[in-house]
Amino acid sequence: MTAITEEVAVREKAMRAMRGRQRMNSIIFLGPATVIIVLFFLLPVIVDIVIAFSDMGRDLQISKFTTRNFERAATGDRRLPKVLFLTLIYVGATLAIFNVTFGLVLALTTTALPRGSGGFFRTIWLMPRMSPSVVYIVLWQWSVHSGDSSLVNQILKHVFGAQENIDLLSNSPVPLIILANGFIGASFGMIILTSAIRGIPDHLFYAARCDGAGSLAIVRHITLPALRWPLTYIGIWQTLSLMVSFEYIILLTGGGPFQDTTVFALYIYRRTFASGQYGYGAALALFLIIPGIIIALLAWRLTNMKELLQEPRIEVH
Amino acid sequence: MARIEFRHIEKRFGDVMVIPDMNIDIPDGEFVALLGPSGCGKSTSLFMLAGVYLPTGGELLFDGHRVNEVEARDRNVGIVFQAYALYPHMTVRENIMFPLRFKKVPPDEARARVLEAAELVQVSELMDRRPSQLSGGQQQRVALARALVKQPQLLLLDEPLSNLDATLRLTMRSEIKSLQRRLGVTTILVTHDQIEATTMADRVICMNKGEIEQIGSPDDLYLRPNTLFVAGFIGSPPINLVDGQAENGHLRAGEGTFDVTGSLPRRVTVGLRAEHMRFGDAGMPGRVRQVEPMGRETLYEVDTDIGTIRVLEAGSTAAHRIDGQVKIAFDRGDTLIFDSDTGRLVPDAHFAANGSA
């Protein structure tokens, strides 16, 4: 009898130890990510909501809670519609022209080249991303400034024989910020799509060729369908990142001339930190956070993330 | 349908020579198997026929016309890949239809041909499914339908059965064989499985290291292997190979001496198939080392004077036990003798137990 109860006790002890270990493992694995999400996402969002409903100004004091900031955003800010329209143009054009389409073209062409030269061109397109943003923008400024020594003006003068200098920064600042961001953004799509294309089994391409498909038909019928999910992912991810970043814009144009290149994120930054309207800035920022969360959830649905997270099916014939 | 000729075909990848000089002539409508271990160049040959790889030398002829430079899509070759290569985002119907998209077949005719091909391989019930919803055998059939719908002049099968389970393999084997006979399309099967090759093909081309070792009917390869490689590759269980020397008109192998007919080189390797060995009252004495009942037959490993010899006996119950003393007999006509240095068969040379007729 005693032997049996002892055995039961030993087994229970082992079970307890195992459960303890499992708890410990879950903390070890999930802990860091949870801490990061709480510290850098949840807490800031809560702080932002609190400030948005307050009258916090340059003195960083809250004297009362109010919905005035939202009323102002809805009716009293005449610059806001223009800023939002510009943001739409900027995000839409950068995404459509560069991050998705040009990224796809780069991936398709560099994978069609022999490995060495394909890698060479991909490296070139990665360089803007690898160089420090200040250096990258200094190069842009040198290329497009209005003086005689700018790259654009030199080319116009010596190659095309132009008489007068042009000033792109003043005359077409919006295309410039789209180009500057697009040159960087394209490499993101390029990398992801390149690996996706490489992931397509060779025999599918062979089969399509034997079935009579030419190069374009292969891209259309074999490659593109396989890229549907990475393309959706790139679209969503880059929309989010373009919406909230203004680093290159502030360095290249400073949001000007006048307010011509002040996108929403930059506008919020200016309102908050330059004008000291913390309450109003926080309220505007909510309009970035909420669409962000909605788009991220949309990504979850659209890309069938749940299915991707499921265990792979092993085929048993 | 087409007659296929390889004339001094050479294929190298960079510095690596895969096929030095390959010559084959396949008459119209024949079913041929390219058989060999992995890396022997059989898949490379197949891909050259498909137009995926270009030969680096020699001439490839379809019906007497040089096709070296003809693009894959203009060759009208149907191919079934080992992993089937069905287009994952298309339904069965769209998969089978795919080759016809590029052939300017009128829509009505295309639909009729798709249905016909689907019925031929019995997948007409599955037309709206996607490949991921099919079993391995069904995928295989769809791949066959897609290869056949374009009425190819040449059908290529790349290890088509290796992803199927044993029962399905048996079914598909006979189905493919009868389908080929019915359609009369020249067919080339690539496989490393000797059973697949010998059961399905009219002729087997046995390859090793980019060279053709032997071309012949399944019987030729089994009964009269030209080389040691073919002898070792064909047959299951594998043939017994024993090293020996020619000595004063006799053959010496291990502790055993045998009578020989025919003239021998100095160093030889003798081949004895396990299924030609039998236990008897007279013959090579030995001791049973291992007994493996295989259902219909029983495989013995017997230690003898000339080494360990596999003996295959009909019947499921073992007549001898491990450590039992036995005598092994065989017929002179079933023995094979190879030149160890060249690996080639010594024609008309046989041996028999010392003193026997």
Task: Give the start-to-end residue ranges of the domains of chain B.
Answer: 4-229, 237-353
Q: Is residue B332 a contact partner of residue B350, using CB atoms and an 8 Å limit?
A: yes
Q: Is A304 on the interface with B (CB under 8 A)?
A: no
Q: Has residue A185 got a pLDDT over 50?
A: yes
Q: Is residue B79 a contact partner of residue A210, using CB atoms and an 8 Å limit?
A: yes
Q: Is residue B221 a contact partner of residue B240, using CB atoms and an 8 Å limit?
A: no
Categorize the per-residue pLDDT at A73 as very low, low, confident or very high, splitting at 50, 70 and 90. confident
Name the nearest CA neighbour of A237 among A306, A296, A281: A296
What is the overall mean pLDDT for chain A?
84
pLDDT for position A9? 87
pLDDT for position A304? 62
Answer yes or no: same fold for B4-229 and B237-353.
Answer: no
Supply the CATH classification number for the domain B237-353.
2.40.50.140
- The average pLDDT across A51-68 equals 83
Distance from CA of A38 to the nearest CA of B (A): 40
pLDDT for position A303? 65
Distance from CA of A227 to the nearest CA of B (A): 11
CA distance B294 to B292: 6
CA distance A272 to A281: 5
pLDDT for position B354? 65
pLDDT for position B189? 94
Q: Has residue A225 got a pLDDT over 90?
A: no
Residue corresponding to tokens 């298309």: B90
Per run of 10 residues, the mean pLDDT along chain B (length 357 residues) is 89 91 93 91 91 91 91 89 89 93 89 91 90 87 91 91 82 88 92 90 92 92 91 89 86 85 87 90 88 88 90 82 89 90 88 64
Put simply, the answer to whether A226 touches B88 (Cβ < 8 Å) is: yes
> What DSSP assignment string belongs to A38-91?
IIIIIHHHHHHHHHHTB---TT-----B-SHHHHIIIII-TTHHHHHHHHHHHH
CA distance B258 to A226: 66
pLDDT for position B96? 94
Other beta carbons within 10 Å of A266:
22
pLDDT for position A317? 37
Put simply, the answer to whether B89 touches A214 (Cβ < 8 Å) is: no
CA distance B5 to A245: 64
Put simply, the answer to whether B73 touches A214 (Cβ < 8 Å) is: yes
pLDDT for position B7? 93
User: Which of A203, A210, A231 should we substitute to test contact with B (largest number of B Cβ atoms within 10 Å)?
Assistant: A210
- Domains, chain A, ranges and CATH? 80-261 (1.10.3720.10)
Question: For the CA atoms of chain B, what is the radius of gyration?
Answer: 24
Q: What would the pLDDT profile of A281-306 be if each residue is shown by its tens digit?
A: 888 888 888 888 888 788 777 766 55
Question: For the CA atoms of chain A, what is the radius of gyration?
Answer: 27
Tell the burial category of B57 from Cβ atoms under 10 Å away from its Cβ (0-12, 13-18, 19+): middle
Q: Has residue A1 got a pLDDT over 70?
A: no
Of residues A74 and A285, the one with the higher pLDDT is A285
Distance from CA of B132 to the nearest CA of A (A): 9
User: Which of B49, B80, B89 should we substitute to test contact with A (largest number of A Cβ atoms within 10 Å)?
Assistant: B89
Other beta carbons within 10 Å of B120:
18
Domain B4-229 belongs to what architecture? 3-Layer(aba) Sandwich (3.40)
Q: For B168-222, give the secondary structure using H, E and C.
A: HHHHHHHHHHHHHHHHCCEEEEEECCHHHHHHHCCEEEEEECCEEEEEECHHHHH
Q: Is B131 on the interface with A (CB under 8 A)?
A: no
CA distance B246 to B266: 5
Count CB pairs under 8 A between chains A and B: 73
